[in-house]
A and B are shown apart, each in its own frame.
Chain A
Amino acid sequence: MSPFDYQRAASVDEALRMGQQPGAMYIGGGTNLLDLMKGGVSTPRILVDVSRLPLSGVTQGPDGGLRIGAMLSNTDAANHALVRQRYPLLSQALLAGASGQLRNMATVGGNLLQRTRCPYFYDTGFEHCNKRNPGSGCDALGGETRGLAILGASDACIATHPSDMCVALAALRAHVLVRGARGERSIAMQDFHRLPGDMPQRDTNLEPGELIVAVDLPPPVFARHASYLKVRDRASYAFALVSVAAALDLQDGMVRDAALALGGVAHKPWRRPEAERLLVGRKLDANSMQAAAQSLLQGARPQPGNRYKISLAYNSIVRALSMAGGMA
């Protein structure tokens, strides 16, 4: 681990000032950043501790939506009565992630900012990684690609975003509220994380020094029919090979609205509004679910080592929709 300065911010404004320093990074629970620092993957010169900022509240909006503070722990977010009642999809996704100990430490803001997952990114013994050393190449291509991306990848990077929480937030069409030197702005989930393109070193569209202060959830319409399905190699404490956040607004068997996103398959939670539209205005049945699954996987391009992910994702989407719709 490289030496670094530790600074603790007493207020959001102070954090923003500290965050402007060259080489500064914010740290919340540190469950991902510390691993990266120990492995020599991240080498911040200054850690700005934001974990004690008063950003862990949950407040209701006038429209029935919810604002979740960025420093709320994953455990507390998952177990919050309003989250469980109005956004069971989010609660399920949070509880499917990591382990109890990690969820106790990890924050909502930190979860959004965890780095993408790829063994070639995490081990500095591999020479070529465009994410670690832009322009150096990608050792993952042609290597062990079993866990890597099938959608939205580029020749520069095939890493996947590992978060479960973010998949649910993407499906629920949440917004991320951030504050920076130029004030506050709200970023839609689908615009928050980036596809790798030719700049895989950037995981998100945050500007330097910007701080996540909250996540905003729209009015709950998916509270009654939601299912987060995570397929992984063991029953707990494993990243998703494929995960599906599926939720439905059903009335009299008809789908009024649908929320659908995939995890473990791309550099960001994978969502395609066309896939959701294929479900809306119809009865939920095998045909509509399969059509949605096909649509969501449109353009999939697997690596030699992860072809299975297409059929796994397909089957998982159908299963998750069935579960959400009470059919499985």
Chain B
Amino acid sequence: MTLIGKGIKRLDGPAKVCGRARYTAEITLPRMAHAVLVQSTIAAGSVRDLNDAEVKRMPGVLLVLSHKNAQKLPRSGRAGVDPPDGRVLSLFQDARVHYNGQPLALVVAETLEQAQAAAAALKPLYSAGVAQLEFDDAAKDAHSPGKILNEDADTRRGDVDAGMAAARHRVQARYVTPMQNHNPMEPHATLAQWQGEQLTLWDSTQYVAGVRRMVSKTLGIDSGRVRVRNLFVGGAFGGKGSAWSHVLLAAMAARQCGRPVRLVLQRPQLFGPVGGRPRTQQTVELGADPAGRLQAGRHEVYSTTSMMEDWTESSAVVTRMLYACPNLETRHRLVQLNVGTPTFQRAPGEATGSFALESALDELALQSGLDPIALRLASFAERDPQKNLPFSSNALRECYRLGAEHFGWSERPRQPGSLRQGHWLVGMGMAACTRPAKRMPAAASVELLPDGSAVVRSSTEDLGTGTYTVMTQIAADKLGYPLSRVRFELGDTNFPEAPISAGSMTVESVGSAVHAACNEARRQLLALAVGDALSPLQGSRIEDLRVEEGWLRHADGKRAEPAAAVVARSRNARLHAQGNSQAGEETKRFSMHSFGAVFVKVLVDPELGLVRVPRVVAAYGVGQVINEKTARSQLMGGIVWGLSLALMEAALLDTRNGRIVNANLAEYHVPTNADIGDIEILIVPEQDGVVNSLGAKGLGEVSMTGVAAAVAMPSPMPPESAYANCRLRRIACWIRLKRSRRQPRQGLWPLHSAKLAANCNAATTAPNALRLPASSGTRNT
């Protein structure tokens, strides 16, 4: 009886709901001091005078760490570690200011309240410089990043101009997505403690090994002197993948104070110093033959980055592989602004890129008159067209079929605005979803103990995703032990090293290592038994033995012995095994992806500008599912993120001084429960013998892709009514610019504009005052 796939409840659930789970900010050490970050309030320039003389004398203040007194770091604090773990940080090595919200000082005091009061009292004096905050201006000086991690920034196959010229149907559209910000429930937190030359960091990170590497290199100390730990992380989503400035600053302050220092970022401090999804502006051009087959495509991406570091939102990478298209060009360009450096945010690249690509396909479906699914099937990629490799597995066709059937796609209204429910116009949309299946080198160890229990260890993290639970499941299954006798330990650089918990690859990487370690432990256990004169299994052939529920059993059904007894008689009364996993030759022979199809029902009240999504049905092929319950939760969570991306989340930048205007959870909107309707998740059974030993392809991010495009699918809406115009959000990001040849900013279907205009005062009496294209939206009265 296998444990793989079972919907086992989170093993750490009771501890969490009872408050026993200790997060980083809840860990207290003797003599611990409290630190509060002070940030810039200008977007460019330098600190002329920190103005800290009085603040240093405030009650309880132990240290005001700044460029005036921070230790000089090797290479000016630029360790040269690449992302994800290594970033260009603000470590007080000079007085320059690159964005509004940049860390400028760290105030350390005896109590948190004293540190907060002193931090609030610190008012640095600046020499203001000229900041670039206008996207359109900066885009004129956009530059190529060259590479995006391991991908090329630009690609070309075939002859796009020729393909486009020969196409029957052509669409070109422009899509804008806003700057978004990480907002995990648990804010970033670090507790730093020096014991002699040994540094221990408790850190809310999704990569303890990466933090150790970045911290040791930045401080110029041996990595063996740094230990990084956490037990629980309250959400991360990519925002805790890097060791950001506060981690190093806590370590530097702790050294300078000679005491442990705890630094917890306040909610508004997450807007800038710890990254987020950059603003993108994407142009997609597609050409298809009369049957709807893609003949040519172009996808050009402009995304923002900071003045400190190039970081690229790889939006066009998905376009390279999702559809068969013989002639294709993709390009990424970076637009530098005086903002915080962006970073990985759930489904980085695909979340924004699939919005543009899939929306352009909708435009093509409208123009060609083809059903959106038929159009997608016409260019179905039998192989990865960019790598020219077969897929290890691909259930996309079945996802379309199953999703459409459960959703009732055939019943959808074809004519725009033809279906109403009271004041609501009813629309339906769909899109394809995909994310690469990857793994990185990972190691795990297993210890079998004489009491019949097993302890499995890897340095990985549980971000709330269920790592504790699924790794325990894999280990118990592979060892043949009862679930209750296996304990999984994580979040400690003293354990065998795991890669970053990101990229939907923890199960693939760490799970495969756990699998390998457990196989090795079980092999040792069986070998010990057959060679042990005291064992009833002595002399058996190993092939005849299995381990079940903690017992070694012979196939003859007569002989058996508890694993505990075998372990107890071993030399040290314990067995130890290590397992490793890494990608191999399969990456050269196959392209590996999770796929899916998402269907949404959208309600639009065109008079009040309200948009609701009462129903989502989505089908996914993600290989082997390890835990049906946590898998479903993750997939559902990705859809909620997709809805949030489509309709709500936007960090609003004041382009006069570079401050984020809505840097709090009251005004930076994520969905409430009331915003989320029914979400039905369908998992297409899929066996993938290539991707890794577990056959699991990853599902943390695939469900975030496609959702925004499905929500924005315009066909059921009256032309110009717009779905576009009825968006309330100022950012009006997800509006297709091409349809109206203008960029609506906000507002409503102007039902009564003429009448109203007559009644409003002179400032607004122009006939188009209530029509809401960009031109009137930005004109100053």
Residues of A within 8 A of B (CB): 1-3, 40, 119-120, 122-123, 125-127, 139, 142-144, 146, 231, 233-239, 241, 290, 294-295, 297-302, 304-305, 307-308, 310-312, 314-316, 319, 328
Whether B2 sits at the interface, judged by CB under 8 Å, is: no
User: Given that A142-B656, A235-B672, A328-B423 are known contacts, is A301 also in contact with B763, CB under 8 Å in the complex?
Assistant: yes
User: Given that A301-B764, A308-B748 are known contacts, is A231 also in contact with B610, CB under 8 Å in the complex?
Assistant: yes
A236 vs B612: C-alpha distance in the bound complex, in angstroms?
12
Whether B451 sits at the interface, judged by CB under 8 Å, is: no
**Distance (whole angstroms) from the CB of A160 to the closest CB of chain B:** 13
B268 neighbours in A (Cβ, 8 Å): 123
B770 neighbours in A (Cβ, 8 Å): 307, 310-311
Counting chain B CB atoms within 10 Å of each CB, the highest count among A125, A241, A304, A311 belongs to: A311
12 residue pairs A–B, Cβ–Cβ below 8 Å? A119-B661, A119-B662, A125-B100, A143-B654, A144-B654, A233-B648, A235-B612, A235-B675, A301-B761, A302-B764, A310-B764, A311-B749
**Distance (whole angstroms) from the CB of B768 to the closest CB of chain A:** 10
Task: Please give 4 more A-B residue pairs, beta carbons under 8 A apart, in addition to A233-B648, A235-B612.
Answer: A120-B661, A241-B728, A308-B728, A312-B748
Whether the Cβ atoms of B728 and A1 lie closer than 8 Å is no
User: Given that A236-B672, A304-B779, A312-B747 are known contacts, is A1 also in contact with B769, CB under 8 Å in the complex?
Assistant: no
Whether the Cβ atoms of B756 and A294 lie closer than 8 Å is yes
Residues of B within 8 A of A (CB): 41, 100, 113, 116-117, 120, 268, 423, 607-610, 612, 648, 652, 654, 656-657, 659, 661-664, 666-667, 669, 671-675, 728-730, 745-753, 755-756, 759-761, 763-764, 769-770, 772, 776-781
A236 neighbours in B (Cβ, 8 Å): 672-675
Whether the Cβ atoms of B778 and A311 lie closer than 8 Å is no
Whether the Cβ atoms of A126 and B659 lie closer than 8 Å is yes
> Taking CB as reference atom, which chain B residue is nearest A2?
B117
Whether the Cβ atoms of B746 and A300 lie closer than 8 Å is no
B745 neighbours in A (Cβ, 8 Å): 305
Whether the Cβ atoms of A315 and B760 lie closer than 8 Å is no
Whether the Cβ atoms of B730 and A305 lie closer than 8 Å is yes
User: Given that A307-B772, A310-B756, A310-B760 are known contacts, is A238 also in contact with B669, CB under 8 Å in the complex?
Assistant: yes
Counting chain B CB atoms within 10 Å of each CB, the highest count among A239, A302, A328 belongs to: A302
Whether the Cβ atoms of B747 and A308 lie closer than 8 Å is yes
A294 vs B669: C-alpha distance in the bound complex, in angstroms?
31
Whether the Cβ atoms of A1 and B755 lie closer than 8 Å is no
A236 vs B763: C-alpha distance in the bound complex, in angstroms?
34
User: Given that A304-B779, A304-B781 are known contacts, is A233 also in contact with B729, CB under 8 Å in the complex?
Assistant: yes
**Distance (whole angstroms) from the CB of A229 to the closest CB of chain B:** 8
Whether the Cβ atoms of A300 and B730 lie closer than 8 Å is no
What are the 7 tightest A-B residue pairs by CB atom distance, in nearest-first order? A308-B747, A235-B674, A236-B674, A315-B607, A146-B730, A144-B661, A236-B672
**Distance (whole angstroms) from the CB of B643 to the closest CB of chain A:** 10
User: Given that A144-B661, A235-B675, A241-B728 are known contacts, is A304 also in contact with B780, CB under 8 Å in the complex?
Assistant: yes
A311 vs B777: C-alpha distance in the bound complex, in angstroms?
13
> Taking CB as reference atom, which chain A residue is nearest B751?
A315
User: Given that A1-B117, A299-B760 are known contacts, is A311 also in contact with B648, CB under 8 Å in the complex?
Assistant: no
B755 neighbours in A (Cβ, 8 Å): 290, 294
A1 vs B729: C-alpha distance in the bound complex, in angstroms?
33
Q: Which of A2, A311, A319 contacts B756 (CB 8 A)?
A: A311
**Distance (whole angstroms) from the CB of A152 to the closest CB of chain B:** 12
Whether the Cβ atoms of A300 and B669 lie closer than 8 Å is no
Whether the Cβ atoms of B667 and A119 lie closer than 8 Å is yes
Whether the Cβ atoms of B672 and A312 lie closer than 8 Å is no
Whether the Cβ atoms of B609 and A312 lie closer than 8 Å is yes
User: Given that A1-B113, A125-B41 are known contacts, is A233 also in contact with B759, CB under 8 Å in the complex?
Assistant: no
A142 vs B779: C-alpha distance in the bound complex, in angstroms?
11
Whether the Cβ atoms of A297 and B763 lie closer than 8 Å is no
B608 neighbours in A (Cβ, 8 Å): 231, 312, 315-316, 319
A304 neighbours in B (Cβ, 8 Å): 777-781
Whether the Cβ atoms of B675 and A307 lie closer than 8 Å is no
A314 vs B667: C-alpha distance in the bound complex, in angstroms?
24
A314 neighbours in B (Cβ, 8 Å): 751-752, 756
**Distance (whole angstroms) from the CB of B40 to the closest CB of chain A:** 9
**Distance (whole angstroms) from the CB of B323 to the closest CB of chain A:** 34
